Amino acid sequence: MEAKDRIIVALDVDSLDKAKSLVESLAPHVGCFKVGLELLTAVGAPKVVEFVHSLGGQIFYDGKFNDIPNTVGGAAKAVAGLNVKMFNVHASAGRKAVEAAVTNKGSSLVLGVTILTSIDEEECVSIFGGKPGAKVLQFSRMLKEVGADGIICSPQELELLGKQKELDSLLKITPGVRPEWAAAGDQKRIMTPAEAIKAGATALVIGRPITKPPAEIGTPADAAKKIAEEISEILEWLKKDARCHDYELHYRGPYDLDVGPAHGDYHELNWQDCSCIIRAENDEEAWKITMQFLEDEVGRVYSEGAWHNRKLIKLTKIIGNQEVKP
């Protein structure tokens, strides 16, 4: 999956005229368009889907089905017949309603809505009787059991979900994502694109930062490309991180600096045993990182030979407890 395919643009407009320029300019730079209740109600679902498809875009049908199982099953069959890429159903509609959606999904993906990102902890307890993390986990397990393809959740719950290995196969679609250069808006539990991808998101739902970007960012296409670059960079970092090993550095570090005028100004560093963990792809890189770390930390108080001999004790590759030599 390319970085751009992880971007789902929220097409929060009320007419096809307003949607046209966005879809035309953004279709080459994003993976999908989320069409929600505003546009679906104002124009009509079949017309909206046909329109976006005609301009080269794919559809995330954000109907958030929430009704009795028979009604949800019928709605799922109807929307799957429009050849949308994905659609969603509220997990709180219950197990049987979600099962009905899965049974009638055709080739579309079924996503379960857990807790809306506009709902904070206090309101979540008021509505669902529990905090967001606990309820998202409960809903996600149910969605997995009934065969849903993925979940929609706040980025704040991604770390918790990532610790549940039985949920690894679920797609994790995450709204509440905004770049550092965009305002937070009305969503309570947000992250940047890089933070969300690092935390385990499969794809990101992003609206105003792309459709109405700050003037200094440029056009919607410019904003989408900028976000894709951010995603690409964190994906590369994650690939490297997966190849890395942990090394433990034992050394003597300075913990005090005394200055006194008794015989002129002088500086005296006192030392204590320290340790830290370094991540690197191989021993050579680990050693380079070590040397740079030591140099930065001591601030060149001593000449290289003096501080090297005095500070460095041992660099050890944690797996196998293998000492690393320069």
Nearest to 228 by CA among 193, 258, 195, 196: 193
Q: Radius of gyration over alpha carbons of the chain, in Å? A: 26
Tokens representing residue 156 in the block: 């704040």
Q: Is 47 known to be catalytic?
A: no
CA distance 215 to 218: 5
Tokens representing residue 86 in the block: 């994905």
Beta strands in the chain (DSSP E): 7-10, 32-35, 59-65, 86-90, 109-113, 150-152, 171-174, 203-206, 245-260, 266-280, 312-317, 322-323
CB-side neighbour CA atoms (13 Å) of 261: 0
Relative orientation angle of helices 220-243 and 16-26, to the nearest 10 degrees: 50
Place of tokens 């041992």: 314
Please list, in sequence order, all residues whose beta carbon lies within 8 angstroms of the beta carbon of residue 119, skipping any fewer than 6 positions away.
127, 132, 188
Residue 158 vs residues 54, 69, 76, 133: alpha-carbon distances, Å? 34, 28, 27, 9
CB 134 within 8 A of CB 160: no
CB 244 within 8 A of CB 261: no
Residues forming a β-bridge with 191: 177
List phi, psi (to 5°) of 300: 60, 35
| Pairing relationship of beta strands 322-323 and 312-317 according to DSSP bridges | antiparallel
Catalytic residue among 64, 77, 85, 96: 64
Residues forming a β-bridge with 7: 204
For residue 128, give the amino acid letter.
F
CA distance 80 to 294: 59
Catalytic residue positions?
64
